[in-house]
């Protein structure tokens, strides 16, 4: 049984055709939104693998007020 990946089967011209097809299907404005969602999904997946269920919250430095 052959153990190959899709990337090994696709060359330069084929990848260009796939990129053009994606651009035609989704349009230039929708692709950044799709990539942003994909990035969030990957981040959540990695957090799930680490065992942290809570999303990371960036804490801002707040000045301490003394009364």
Q: What is the pLDDT of residues 34-54, one digit of tens each?
A: 889 999 999 999 998 887 655
Q: What per-residue confidence (pLDDT) applies to 56?
A: 54
- Our measurement of the distance from residue 2's CA atom to the centroid of its chain's CA atoms, rounded to an integer in Å, reads 29
Structure tokens given for 23: 């651009």
Q: Using CB atoms within 10 A of its CB, is residue 34 exposed (0-12), middle (13-18) or buried (19+)?
A: exposed
Query: Does 44 map to a domain?
Result: yes
Which residue range(s) make up the domain with 33?
Answer: 8-48
Q: What is the pLDDT of residues 5-25, one digit of tens each?
A: 766 777 888 888 988 998 888
Structure tokens given for 7: 């990337």
Query: Does 33 map to a domain?
Result: yes
Provide the domain count of the chain.
1
| Structural contact between residues 56 and 47, judged by C-beta atoms closer than 8 angstroms | yes
Q: Report the chain's terminal Cα–Cα distance, integer Å.
A: 74
pTM, to two decimals:
0.47
């Amino acid at each position: 049984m052959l153990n190959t990946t899709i990337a090994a089967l696709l060359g330069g011209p084929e990848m260009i055709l796939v990129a053009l097809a994606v651009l035609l299907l989704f349009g230039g404005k929708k692709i950044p939104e799709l990539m942003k969602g994909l990035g969030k999904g990957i981040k959540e997946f990695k957090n799930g693998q680490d065992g942290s269920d809570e999303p990371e919250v960036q804490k801002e430095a707040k000045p301490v007020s003394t009364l």
